[in-house]
């Protein structure tokens, strides 16, 4: 099996190209995804390879574009709709939440909506409050939607391909700071299973559950703590809905401590759901410390680079928090 080093963005582009090559039902929609190559250059030259009928620039109307994509999915196509920023999906909530998520249920399973929404997300680019949010928990709350969030180029490709194959709507949240990171990616078509987490680092003293950019920050913090004799296990969720509860529960039973780290606002975030999951499971009796949540501050993302970093968990803060968790204090 041929394996090459690709960037996160290149891995997504390869997944899209391979899906389009083997399935004529797959096509792309979004603002500036054609000749311009996408807001983050992810679609690149695909318009030259597949033509404007399959790589379609849409007008500046997220509601309209998403509506056309939902209609196309119901009619038998497999559209991939790219929002320039995940924040702009708020303009298309009617189509995503009230139409795509509910059609199969409301029509008694007689139709499916095999659509993928690509959602560039997260802070760190100086794009300020309306272009830097992490909204995955919003959509994870909606029955009928699946929500995934890769942290590596390998999973970026595998989850895109799995999402395209899925008969239901899948939202793929792609943290903008990850587009340039590189990793080994198989050349063949493969699928990363939706709903299955992966242990990125084995440990015995505490479990960290994270996704996307926070996986990398947690791993960096874990390596720093290893020098102090503190052994952290890091779980990469990969899938926000459905969540792989079994992997998390077994890890917590082993380590007896849990920290949930996420960039979205802490209140009502992913960490709250995971905390409740543990509280309602047999793992609760194994806990030696209260569950810790490290999430975004209760504020819109600031434009100032200094304040932007303060608004979301960073490696130093994660390291300090995990040290306190293992040593018994908060």
| pLDDT tens-digit readout, 7-50 | 999 999 999 999 999 999 999 999 999 999 999 999 999 999 99
Alpha-carbon gap, residue 75 to 89, rounded angstroms: 22
Q: Which domains does the chain have, with CATH numbers?
A: 3-186 (3.40.50.970), 198-327 (3.40.50.920)
Contact 131, 87 (CB under 8 A): yes
CA distance 51 to 24: 12
Q: Which of 14, 31, 82, 131 is catalytic?
A: 131
The catalytic position among 14, 31, 62, 308 is: 62
pLDDT tens by residue, 199-252:
999 999 999 999 999 999 999 999 999 999 999 999 999 999 999 999 999 999
CA separation for the pair 122, 273 (Å, rounded): 20
CA gap 237, 240 in Å, rounded: 7
Q: Report residue 1's pLDDT band, with 50, 70 and 90 as the boundaries.
A: confident
Buried b (16+ CB within 10 A) or exposed e, 161-191: bbbbbbebbbbbbbbbbbbebebebbeeeeb
Give the residue among 183, 221, 215 at the shortest CA–CA distance from 200.
Answer: 215
Work out whether the CA dihedral 45, 48, 52, 54 comes out positive or negative. negative
In terms of C-beta density within 10 A (0-12 exposed, 13-18 middle, 19 or more buried), how is residue 82 classed?
buried
pLDDT of residue 72: 98
Residue 7 in tokens:
């960037």
pLDDT in tens, 99-145: 999 999 999 999 999 999 999 999 999 999 999 999 999 999 999 99
pLDDT at 330 over 60: no
Q: Is 131 a catalytic residue?
A: yes
Instruction: Please give the Cα distance from 290 to 275 (Å, whole number).
Output: 10
Interacting residues of 34 by C-beta distance below 8 A, sequence separation 6+: 43, 47, 52, 55, 56, 57
Instruction: Taking residues 253-260, report their average pLDDT.
Output: 98
Using pLDDT thresholds of 50, 70 and 90, give the confidence band for residue 329: low
* Cβ contacts of 183 within 8 Å, gap of 6 or more: 5, 6, 8, 11, 152, 153, 154
**Average pLDDT over the chain, rounded to whole?**
97
Residue 122's contacts (CB-CB under 8 Å, 6 or more residues apart) are 132, 133, 134, 175, 176, 177, 212, 213, 263
pTM beyond 0.75, yes or no: yes
């Amino acid at each position: 099996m041929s394996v090459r080093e690709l960037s996160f963005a290149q891995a997504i582009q390869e997944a899209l190209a391979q899906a389009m090559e083997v399935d004529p039902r797959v096509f792309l929609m979004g603002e500036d995804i054609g000749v311009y190559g996408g807001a983050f250059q992810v679609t690149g030259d695909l318009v030259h390879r597949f033509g404007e009928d399959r790589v379609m620039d849409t007008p500046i109307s997220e509601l309209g574009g998403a509506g056309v994509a939902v209609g196309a999915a119901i009619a038998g196509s497999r559209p991939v709709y790219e929002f320039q920023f995940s924040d702009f999906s708020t303009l298309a909530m009617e189509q995503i939440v009230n139409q795509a998520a509910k059609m199969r249920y409301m029509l008694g399973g007689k139709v499916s909506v095999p659509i993928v929404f690509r959602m560039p997300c997260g802070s760190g680019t100086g794009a300020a409050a309306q272009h830097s949010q992490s909204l995955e928990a919003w959509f994870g709350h909606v029955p009928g939607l699946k929500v995934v969030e890769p942290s590596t180029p390998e999973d970026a490709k595998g989850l895109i391909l799995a999402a395209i194959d899925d008969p239901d709507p899948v939202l793929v949240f792609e943290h903008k700071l990850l587009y340039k990171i590189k990793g080994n990616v198989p050349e063949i078509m493969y699928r990363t299973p939706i709903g299955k987490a992966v242990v990125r680092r084995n440990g015995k003293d505490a479990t960290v559950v994270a996704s996307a950019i926070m996986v990398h920050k947690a791993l960096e913090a874990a390596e720093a703590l290893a020098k102090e004799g503190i052994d952290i296990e890091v779980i990469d969720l990969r899938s926000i809905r459905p969540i792989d509860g079994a992997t998390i529960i077994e890890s917590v039973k082993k380590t007896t401590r849990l920290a949930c780290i996420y960039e979205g606002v802490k209140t009502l975030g992913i960490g709250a759901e995971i905390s409740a999951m543990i509280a309602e499971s047999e793992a609760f009796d194994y806990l030696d410390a209260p569950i810790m949540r490290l999430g975004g501050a209760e504020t819109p993302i600031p434009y100032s680079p200094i304040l932007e970093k303060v608004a979301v968990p960073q490696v130093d803060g994660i390291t300090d928090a995990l040290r306190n968790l293992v040593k018994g204090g908060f």
